[in-house]
Amino acid sequence: MVQWAWKGYASNAYGHDSLNVKTMKGTGLPDHDMALTLVDALDTLYLVGMFEEFDRASEWVANNMEQRIFLSGFISLFETTIRLMGGLLSSYYMSGHVHLLTIANKLGMALSPAFTVYTHGIPDKDYDIVSKRTRASPSLAEIGTLQMEFKYLAQLTEYPRYQEQVDRISDSLAKQVEEKYTNGLLPVQLNQQSGKISTSKITLGANGDSYYEYLLKQWLQSGKKEDKFKTQYMTAVDGIMDKLVGKSKPNGLVFIGELVYGKFEPKMDHLVCFVPGMLTLGYMNGMPEEHLTLAKQLMETCYQMYAQMAAKLAPEIMYFNMKENVEEDLLVSATDAFNLLRPETVESLMVMYRVTKDEKYREYGREIINAFEKNCRLERGGYASIGNVAKGPVHVGFRNEMESFFIAETLKYLFLLFSDDSMLPLDEIVFNTEAHPFPIDRAAS
């Protein structure tokens, strides 16, 4: 699958952000195409043994990436950090190609002024590297998911400013939990003038998800030295169990809902399916047994989100029935029935298989692979999103792009699901939210 996905991109869109599956040409931001798929896929190419393709892409980065970074035009600070910086750092870690670290450092330097715009140190959502202009208030996930990358860059370059600028964000969020949001659950909107969280929706889906993931992973990345993140993570999981866990009717599927201005909504994004893997990774590192119990229940629900759809692929958003006398547990609206080849479920399957050794998780993975191959594979290379998983024609190419995360995350986690545990062992590395592996800092512990 990696070879076929890469064939589609490399033959038609090399050096662009992504493959347009309708035109079979490269596409990207009009004024700042940063070759996201190429960099995002580097470590996957290396991992699966596509070394010729890796070397060619690595050479392309050496020859072209610096000029791509220093183009004008707004970019997402969050996406650039997790995909581009994350991809450069992990592929340096795996291959030892020093120029990848050099480019990552130049990118870090180029992004750092974004952290100094406000006195509170929390950057805006979008940033123009050339003009240094910023715009748009960020979400919780966008400011809570920069830390692993800048910390690893600080460690490799011995330049502490990288870590200091993201620690400042973490400290601000921790203080707000301590003072106001004592159950550890933070709303997703930010008042950028004050740097304070605004009262709004609480979710582990879009705009919230990876903040919680990075609480656990920063503790692991530090060699379990930064215990404040462990404490914040455990507080948040207690809050999740208390406020966000629901059970559908009639069959009792356990799910994670949302709080919208305090009111529970039985809605769960596919993005939330990272949670079983997160909870299991925590359990593997000493968290309570009840975390694993919830993980297993949620994993089953995420699988059912695939198995109960006509295409055997999950929709982007699922609603859960909580009323009596309704036959179906799962409800999907036509506007949410699309599938973007997202990785969260297979990510959790990989972690759960490695920790529990229950073969059913590999079987679930095989079913998802078969559904991708049946519905999403393109004749000339690459894979496409589909517009309707529920019933009727699937509508191949619902979105124009084959997202960079398909090779970077979805296919990497599927490969690891069927690999030996010694392949990127979970007690030696920690994945950033874009599936880029960073080594655990043993020197810190």
Same domain, 238 and 308: no
Q: Which of the following is catalytic: 40, 79, 126, 409?
A: 79
Asked whether residue 342 falls in the same domain as residue 281, the answer is: yes
In terms of domains, do 384 and 255 share one? yes
In a domain, 441, yes or no: no
Tokens read off for 234 = 């455990």
Q: Tell me the chain's radius of gyration from C-alpha atoms.
A: 21
* Domain count for the chain: 2
Amino acid at 117: V
Is 300 contained in some domain? yes
Residues 316, 329, 347, 409: which is the catalytic one? 316
Annotated catalytic residue: which of 43, 124, 149, 209? 209
Q: Is residue 426 part of a domain?
A: no
Q: Specify whether 263 is located in the same domain as 407.
A: yes
Specify whether 321 is located in the same domain as 398: yes
**Do 282 and 230 form a contact (C-beta atoms < 8 A)?**
no
- 209 as an active site residue: the answer is yes
Domain final residue, candidates 196, 215, 243 = 243
**Mean pLDDT, the chain, whole residue set:** 97
CA distance 219 to 441: 10
Percent of the chain with pLDDT over 70: 100
179 among known catalytic residues = no
Query: pLDDT of 345-381, one tens digit each?
Result: 999 999 999 999 999 999 999 999 999 999 999 999 9
pLDDT digits (tens, 9 = 90+) for 135-159: 999 999 999 999 999 999 999 999 9
Q: Is residue 114 part of a domain?
A: no
In a domain, 329, yes or no: yes
State whether 255 and 218 are in the same domain: no
The verdict on 352 and 264 lying in the same domain is yes
pTM of this structure = 0.97
Q: Do the domain assignments include residue 210?
A: yes
Residues 183 and 267 in one domain: no
For 87-115, how does the pLDDT look when each residue is reduced to its tens digit (9 = 90+)?
Answer: 999 999 999 999 999 999 999 999 999 99
The single-letter code of the amino acid at 106 is K
Whether 128 contacts 74, CB under 8 Å: yes
Q: How confident is the model at residue 444 (pLDDT cuts 50, 70, 90)?
A: low
Q: Say if residue 236 is in the same domain as residue 259.
A: no
What is the rounded distance in angstroms from the CA atom of residue 164 to the CA atom of residue 167? Answer: 5
Question: Which CATH number do you get for residue 252?
Answer: 1.50.10.10
232 & 274 share domain: no
> Is the residue at 366 inside a domain?
yes
Summarize the confidence of residues 172-193 as an average pLDDT: 96
What's the average model confidence in pLDDT over 82-87?
Answer: 98
Residue where a domain stops, chosen among 188, 222, 243: 243
Average pLDDT over residues 63-84: 95
Is position 175 within any domain? yes
Q: Which of these, 195, 76, 66, lies nearest to 134 by C-alpha position?
A: 76
Is 266 found in the same domain as 217? no
Residue stretches of the annotated binding site for Ca(2+): 433
**What whole-number distance in Å separates Cα of residue 385 and Cα of residue 402?**
7
Domain span at 220: 163-243
Q: Which of 225, 243, 261 is the last residue of a domain?
A: 243
- Give residue-wise pLDDT tens across range 309-344: 999 999 999 999 999 989 999 999 999 999 999 999
Are residues 306 and 226 located together in one domain of the fold? no
